[in-house]
Chains A and B, each alone.
Chain A
Amino acid sequence: MTSQTTFYFSQFAGRKFFDSTGEVLGKISDFLIDVRAWTLESHEPQRPRVIAISVKQGKELKFFEFQNFGIRKYKGKLRLICQELKELNTANLQNCIWLKENILDKQIVDLEGRKLVRVNDIRLVMIPSGTYALAVDVGIEGLLRRLGVLTPISTFFESFGVDLPSRMILWDDIEAVDFSNSSIKLSKAQSKLHTLHPSDLADIIEDLDKASRAYVFSTLDEEKAADVLEELEPEVQAHIVESLPVGKVADVLEKMPADEVADIMDELGVKKAEELLNEMEDDSSREVRELLEYADKVVGSIMSTDYMTFSPDLTVEETFKALREEKPEPSYIYSIFVVDKKDKLISSISLGELAISDPALTLGRIMKRNPVTVFDDDDIDSLAEIVSKYNLLAVPVINRSQEMEGVVVIEDIVEDLLDKRKTK
């Protein structure tokens, strides 16, 4: 017997398995793998180990431990042999997934390519220490192997000197997301999805079905969840918000900018929105309620209420110090705003201007009066022209009594333009 045998799941699924004398014991149904191993902090790539097998004996579905199973070559084909059947104790099966039920033919996340792929086959290896899943086959090769026509077709192509494209993804670079057909759930810490950028994760979630969307979202921590939720299409946002518990959603929404939350509330029904706003902390929900008052086409509806204001007496040095302490999101401080004691806007200073100014000077010295502003009830369509004309990254929004209400940043304007183009 060789000490190392690599094989594909399709070579065994649905086939018979035998005892050491060649007697048929039953039909192979599925493999259970333990996925804990591959999330442990380790420099060596860890592969999930096959710990159990489900088989059909007559009409009965049975579960056995995999350690007593071996592979033998018989008439050019691989055969699964079992020395001694040992029933599996199903009580203690955490962080395990089934290959057929959860992986094969399902969509999984390709972490390297940052997209969803469909699994055609699974490659495993049996070595003395156990049997491990190595990679998933997402290429045409796997498809042909499943159809039982790989050998003739690849021989045909090879005679022309062409190799069939094979596409394998190592186990480290995938994550299962489709648990809609089973009761298995992985714990939060097991998910590798949090390594993805929020925008990529959002794209993937949009392509998923409803059950998987909710599952993926529930594996993220609040910060990440907020970043991802912000990037999603409105109807997907609404769907996720509706399918998760109110308490959890409220916690996530509190971490998001108020204008984004207001947009989500618009997508939801009045009842659901009210429920969520009541669940959120007062500070956060008040801002959202104010934004919801604005009509659809005015600046107020897309402005952000996250911005920083300073007194003109502060020096540039002190301003930077305050910013470093506060650690706001970069988009909140494209410009900082100078206001008087009555909260009236005096000036807007871009971060660039601030950076090249003498640290000892006060904001009052370096600022220019009469900043470019828009009113909160101005038409949204006027914004693009203004930022383009004055080369701004952020435009302060004031109300009719000159008090500062918020700021519109360039991302929001671009997003609005893109939306308009899409629906034209």
Chain B
Amino acid sequence: MAAINFRRSWWKRFLVFLAILGPGIITGSVDNDAGGITTYSVAGATYGYQLIWTLIPAFIVLIVIQEMNARMGIVTGKGLADLIRENAGVKVTFFIFVGLLIADIGNTTTEFAGVAGSMEIFGITKYLSVPLAAFMVWILVVKGSYTIAERIFLIFSVSLLVYIVSALLGKPQWSEIGHSITHPGMDMNTKSIAMVIGVIGTTIAPWMQFYMQSAVIEKGLKIKDYGYTLLDIVIGCIATVVVAFFIIIACASTLHVKGIAINEAKDAALALEPLAGKLAQSLFAFGLFIASIFSATILPIATAFYVCEAFGFEAGIDKKWKEAPEFYFLYTLIIILAVIIILMPNAPLIGISIWSQVLNGMLLPVVLICMMLLVNNKKIMGEHVNKPLNNFIGWTAVVVLIALSLMLLVFPLFT
């Protein structure tokens, strides 16, 4: 019998490997969006190296949650929105998705604020940069190919590593960093606790769960790809945490030492110049721009997609406007609203960013509980239900996150 000479060369196999490597890394990169960079910068500037240890539990929780999403996507081939709608009924679905829609309009606004802030450092007014960026993002999805965009962004996400350079230019105190990691601690006051919640909370936004699961399905991954997928998730989570680590360090070793307080990521970039040089400032701003525009592309489309999925409207960028009017309407609406809010003179940007984070915090436990119930449902997952260890880590994460989110909601009332 003739041996089968497969046309697929090693190069093609490598490409397949790269194609599988994607959902996790992209999700991980989108994680460090404008809101994330702001939170990390403020954490570094305010508390120095003290809160760096929080990245370790955030990292573990991130991996556990994303693994569950990937497994559900691979086993069922159904999106998280589909599964929630089919198993939790219309009312829960309605609550979750209307909440997500509002939160994501807020989040998208934060992304465009990142675009505006970073471009202002390069001397470009937001009245030019924001409409232009929004138009580019919109046209890319409606007229262009999203696949191409995704690949470009995958390359761009590597450029987020500029934060490493930016941090090193600030000459960090490595021994102090090591001490913080080995001796986790924090001041017991509301501001400090809120900061910890912020760091962990910004790393695990509810919409990412939907994005992750859909991306896994989009790639057509099978259970035999599970190993690669897990690797992809771990790489993505490491990338997230490494970038966060260096942003905190960049701000801690410069701004914190000089006692400079900041409110926005843009402030951090501005304050870096006299302390670490023009290059550090430009790199910081460039990273912010890339992160913002990356998330501004993915967030609206992902939101429009899973809202339509849940309510049974046609969705997908391969559909024409006429075939999926609700989808394109939602997508366009999210972008337009975000741009209008940004361009309003005296827009309460910090308030919007805080409130969308609070809304995220309220939705996260609901989404996570749905996920834990789904992933343990034998009818849905068959033999691939959670193992006891998964469940232990998963439920612990859920409980801790709910506690944190409750604290985030309750603490502002006392301060």
Q: Which residues of A contact B (CB under 8 A)?
A: 105-107, 115, 117-120, 138, 143, 146-147, 178, 180-182, 208-211, 213, 233, 235-236, 238-239, 242, 265-266, 269-270, 273-274, 277, 289, 292-296, 301, 422-424
Contact = CB atoms under 8 A, between A and B. Distances in A.
Interface stretch (B2-10, B249-257, B263-271): B2-10
Contacts of A118: 85, 311-312
A292 B4 contact: yes
A293 B5 CA distance: 5
B6 A266 contact: yes
B123 interface: no
B89 A105 contact: yes
Contacts of B311: 118, 143
Nearest to A300: B7
B77 interface: yes
B147 interface: yes
B222 interface: yes
Interface string B134-170: 0000000000010110000000000000000000000
A276 to B, nearest CB: 11
Given A143-B90, A180-B380, A235-B220, A211 B76 contact: yes
B258 interface: no
A106 B147 contact: no
Given A209-B77, A213-B77, A296-B12, A239 B222 contact: yes
Contacts of B12: 296
A292 to B, nearest CB: 5
Nearest to B11: A296
Contacts of B89: 105, 146
Contacts of A424: 148
Contacts of B90: 105, 120, 143, 146-147
Nearest to A262: B7
A259 to B, nearest CB: 12
B303 to A, nearest CB: 18
Contacts of A115: 314
A273 B222 CA distance: 17
A287 to B, nearest CB: 12
A270 B76 contact: no
A422 B147 contact: yes
Contacts of B380: 180-181
B6 A292 contact: yes
A130 B89 CA distance: 28
A270 B6 contact: yes
Interface of B: 2, 4-9, 12, 75-78, 82, 85-86, 89-91, 94, 145, 147-148, 220, 222, 224, 311-312, 314, 379-380
Given A138-B312, A147-B91, A180-B379, A209 B4 contact: no
B6 A209 contact: no
Given A143-B90, A181-B380, A242-B222, A210 B77 contact: yes
B220 A239 contact: yes
A11 B282 CA distance: 62
Given A118-B312, A236-B220, A209 B78 contact: yes
Contacts of B78: 209
Given A239-B220, A423-B147, 5 more contacts: A118-B312, A120-B312, A181-B86, A210-B75, A422-B145
B7 A294 contact: yes
A181 B85 CA distance: 14
Nearest to B15: A423
B228 to A, nearest CB: 14
A409 to B, nearest CB: 20
A412 to B, nearest CB: 15
A289 B220 contact: no
A423 B9 CA distance: 17
A289 B4 contact: yes
Contact of A289 (B2, B145, B379): B2
Nearest to B93: A105
A296 B9 contact: yes
A117 B6 contact: no
Nearest to A183: B379
22 contacts: A106-B86, A118-B85, A118-B311, A146-B90, A146-B91, A147-B91, A178-B86, A180-B380, A181-B380, A182-B379, A209-B82, A210-B76, A210-B77, A235-B220, A236-B220, A238-B222, A273-B6, A289-B4, A292-B4, A292-B7, A293-B2, A424-B148
B375 to A, nearest CB: 15
B7 A301 contact: yes
A265 B220 contact: no
Contact of A265 (B4, B77, B147, B224): B4
Nearest to B2: A289
- Chain A CB within 10 Å, residue with most, of B4, B75, B82, B147: B4
B85 A105 contact: yes
Contacts of A182: 379
B91 to A, nearest CB: 6
A292 B312 contact: no
A56 to B, nearest CB: 16
A105 B220 contact: no
B379 A181 contact: yes
Q: Which 3 A-B pairs have the closest CB atoms?
A: A118-B312, A235-B220, A210-B77
Contacts of A180: 76, 379-380
A114 to B, nearest CB: 11
Nearest to A236: B220
Contact of A105 (B5, B86, B224): B86
Contacts of B224: 269
Nearest to B217: A209
Contacts of A146: 89-91
B7 A296 contact: yes
Nearest to B90: A146
Contacts of B312: 107, 117-120, 138
Contacts of B77: 208-211, 213
B4 A277 contact: yes
Contacts of B5: 292-293
Nearest to B310: A118
A240 B5 CA distance: 23
B233 to A, nearest CB: 20
Contacts of A292: 4-7
A100 B8 CA distance: 45
A286 to B, nearest CB: 9
Nearest to A182: B379
A239 B223 CA distance: 10
A156 to B, nearest CB: 18
A305 to B, nearest CB: 16
- Chain A CB within 10 Å, residue with most, of B76, B78, B224, B311: B78
A242 B222 CA distance: 10
B1 to A, nearest CB: 8
A178 B77 CA distance: 12
A120 B224 CA distance: 35
A209 B7 contact: no
A66 to B, nearest CB: 23
Contacts of B91: 146-147
Contacts of B75: 210
Contacts of B222: 238-239, 242
A274 B2 CA distance: 10
Nearest to A297: B7
Contacts of B94: 147
B383 to A, nearest CB: 14
Nearest to B86: A105
